[in-house]
Amino acid sequence: MQKDKVNRRTFVKVVSASSLAASLPIANFSILPSTNPGTIKVGVVGTGNRGTHLMRELLAIENVEISALCDLHPERLDRAIQICQDAGQKKPEGYTGDEYAFRKLMEREDLDAVIIATYWEWHAPMAVYAMKHGKYAGVEVPAALSLDECWELVNTSEETGVPCMMLENWSFRKDNLAVLNMIRNGLLGDIVHCHAAHSHDCIDHWFFDAEDGHQRWGAKYLLKYNRDQYPTHGLGPVLSWMDINCDDRITQIYSCATASTSINAYFKRRFGNDHPNANLDYKQGDIVTSTLRTKKGKSIIVNYDMQLPRPYDNRWMIQGTKGIYNEQRVAVHLVDRSPAYHEWEPFRPYEEEFLHKWWKDRDSKAGGHGGVDSLELELFVKAVQDKTQTPLDVYDSVTMSAVVPLSGHSIEKNQPVEFPDFTRGRWKGRAPYFAM
Ligand SMILES: NC(=O)c1ccc[n+]([C@@H]2O[C@H](COP(=O)([O-])OP(=O)(O)OC[C@H]3O[C@@H](n4cnc5c(N)ncnc54)[C@H](O)[C@@H]3O)[C@@H](O)[C@H]2O)c1
């Protein structure tokens, strides 16, 4: 670490004194050179599909050294180490052996940040451990699975002063950020209502092995729980579109699930009636619909839809007093701008006119998910270099994640449940911070 940078330990101590991660300076996030462009050292925990992809994106960012890697599977770890060396980096230290090997990685003095891309149940415990050891935590979705885990992330970030960012990449999409710009420029008027979904058939390759239907690590959640297992991709852009946690907050959620029929049907269709997974009792309903209400009277509908056969979709739609954006139609209708009364017009010209500064001169074909992942990681890295708050903070990270347990509680009780205020009242009067 460079001498002119605040030493990490000093940083943690100084910020701890203020006791609030949120008191960290909100970064002036534009893609300008960092004000503090020293090399940062990053560790990656979980070198499976997503972790390896994120690692490759990190290797393409200047002044990032991947110094440590961890995975349960030695062969995945070795492959990741080789990728770093092939990219011209020093050989990173590898950590494996058992489920707690990550602790040794996070206890290292020299790391500035860790990226966590492991199984869901490890996200919160690993992020908490990282923060307690002074490392910025960049954690994959969802950041937490229970309300206790959500609060532990908030409490740890506040107590240590170390930021924690859930890596919700859809918040950084070019189209979603242009819509955010349009909203901030008043084109949709006062925001009233929004739809979002994660419609992505993951039964045939992610929850279960594509070849033989073997249960992968995510399948146990489908057997045990009935809830929105993956709400954050849908909610990512919605939080900033609706100023959630910035002078408004979600107060209530009411969820309903359909019967669970699709997984049994898939196994019977694909592998026959006698496949061991064909007749199991899956708790997870095929579609979960949650209605969220905000303090200021807005509503959000979010769908879990990951087991029926279908093409990918997010179905974003946001509506205000002066207009509407519909992602599926790639269209808008804006009272002050649209040429025809009550008719749709194409969204793409607006995407260019209201192009967010993060996307100026940026190639949407470079990198994963249309360039979104590299943008997200560049901004995360810049926050680590500058010792500023991350582009998405711990409050937004847990607000998106809390839909996992809360939707389960609501389905079980068949009634609305209260949505906790993770900011403890600090949402009141708080100015928008994301993508400013
Ligand atoms: N943001 C996105 O677009 C996106 C896309 C895909 C996956 N994901 C998320 O990324 C995460 C990983 O998904 P994946 O598809 O890469 O799964 P994967 O199975 O390919 O990889 C997970 C890796 O984590 C390792 N691991 C698990 N527990 C560990 C522990 N205690 N210590 C060390 N290593 C451990 C496993 O050995 C495995 O290699 C998931 O949480 C998923 O939700 C996000």
In a mutational test of the pocket of ligand 1, which residue from 54, 72, 102, 118 has the highest number of ligand atoms less than 8 Å from its CB? 118
With a 6 Å cutoff on the Cβ, whether 11 touches ligand 1 is no
With a 6 Å cutoff on the Cβ, whether 75 touches ligand 1 is no
The alpha carbon dihedral of 427, 16, 136, 127 has a sign of negative
Q: Could you tell me the distance, in angstroms and rounded to a whole number, from the CA of residue 117 to the centre of ligand 1?
A: 4
Specify whether 223 is located in the same domain as 79.
Answer: no
Structural domain contains residue 368: no
Specify whether 91 is located in the same domain as 231.
Answer: no
Residue 153 CA to residue 130 CA, distance in Å, equals: 11
Specify whether 209 is located in the same domain as 109.
Answer: no
CATH number at residue 117: 3.40.50.720
Ligand 1 atom nearest to 217, measured from its CA? 19
With a 6 Å cutoff on the Cβ, whether 231 touches ligand 1 is no
204-254 residue pLDDT tens:
999 999 999 999 999 999 999 999 999 999 999 999 999 999 999 999 999
* Nearest protein CA to atom 8 of ligand 1, as residue: 50
Structural domain contains residue 268: yes
Q: What are phi and psi of 58, to 5 degrees?
A: -65, -40
Q: What is the pLDDT of residue 38?
A: 85
Q: What is the pLDDT of residue 12?
A: 44
Q: What is the pLDDT of residue 31?
A: 53
With a 6 Å cutoff on the Cβ, whether 120 touches ligand 1 is yes
Specify whether 181 is located in the same domain as 142.
Answer: no
Is the per-residue pLDDT at 25 higher than 80? no
CATH number at residue 210: 3.30.360.10
DSSP-derived letter for residue 415 is: S
Specify whether 132 is located in the same domain as 221.
Answer: no
Q: Could you tell me the distance, in angstroms and rounded to a whole number, from the CA of residue 272 to the centre of ligand 1?
A: 29
Boundary (domain end) residue, out of 169, 191, 216: 169
Residue 57 CA to residue 367 CA, distance in Å, equals: 7
Q: What is the pLDDT of residue 370?
A: 80
Specify whether 154 is located in the same domain as 52.
Answer: yes
Q: DSSP 3-state assignment of 223? A: helix
Q: What is the pLDDT of residue 364?
A: 67
Task: Compute the mean pLDDT over every residue in the chain, rounded to the nearest whole number.
Answer: 92
Q: Could you tell me the distance, in angstroms and rounded to a whole number, from the CA of residue 374 to the centre of ligand 1?
A: 18
Specify whether 139 is located in the same domain as 181.
Answer: no
Boundary (domain end) residue, out of 100, 135, 169: 169
Q: What is the pLDDT of residue 19?
A: 43
Ligand 1 atom nearest to 50, measured from its CA? 16
pLDDT-derived band of residue 399, with 50, 70 and 90 as boundaries? very high
The kind and range of the H/E element at 159 are: helix 147-160
With a 6 Å cutoff on the Cβ, whether 201 touches ligand 1 is no
With a 6 Å cutoff on the Cβ, whether 48 touches ligand 1 is yes
Report CA dihedral (323, 324, 325, 328) to the nearest 10 degrees.
Answer: -150
Structural domain contains residue 375: no
CB count within 10 Å of CB 222 equals 24
Structural domain contains residue 376: no
Residue with tokens 């084109």: 187
DSSP-derived letter for residue 280 is: -
Structural domain contains residue 98: yes
With a 6 Å cutoff on the Cβ, whether 144 touches ligand 1 is no
* Nearest protein CA to atom 6 of ligand 1, as residue: 50
Specify whether 144 is located in the same domain as 102.
Answer: yes
Structural domain contains residue 373: no
Boundary (domain end) residue, out of 152, 169, 186: 169
Give 271's Cβ-side CA count (13 Å radius): 18
Q: How far is CA 85 from CA 53, 56, 90, 114, 216, in A?
A: 15, 11, 6, 19, 30
Specify whether 25 is located in the same domain as 164.
Answer: yes
Q: What is the pLDDT of residue 369?
A: 73
Q: What is the pLDDT of residue 366?
A: 66
Q: What are phi and psi of 107, to 5 degrees?
A: -80, -10
Average pLDDT score over residue span 74-97? 98
Structural domain contains residue 253: yes
Q: What is the pLDDT of residue 37?
A: 72
The region that residue 144 occupies, defined by phi over 0 for left and psi between -120 and 50 for alpha, beta otherwise, is beta
DSSP string covering 326-374? ETTTTEEEETTT-SSTT--EESHHHHHHT--GGGTT--TTSSTTTTHHH
Q: Distance from first CA to last CA of the chain, Å, rounded?
A: 29
Ligand 1 atom nearest to 167, measured from its CA? 1
* Nearest protein CA to atom 11 of ligand 1, as residue: 117
Domain that holds residue 329: 171-361+390-418
Specify whether 98 is located in the same domain as 21.
Answer: yes
Based on the structure, what is the number of domains in the chain? Answer: 2
Ligand 1 atom nearest to 141, measured from its CA? 43
Ligand 1 atom nearest to 51, measured from its CA? 16
325-372 residue pLDDT tens:
999 999 999 999 999 999 999 999 999 999 999 999 887 666 667 899
Specify whether 183 is located in the same domain as 46.
Answer: no
Specify whether 79 is located in the same domain as 199.
Answer: no
Q: Which two tokens stand for residue 213?
A: 């239907």
Structural domain contains residue 382: no
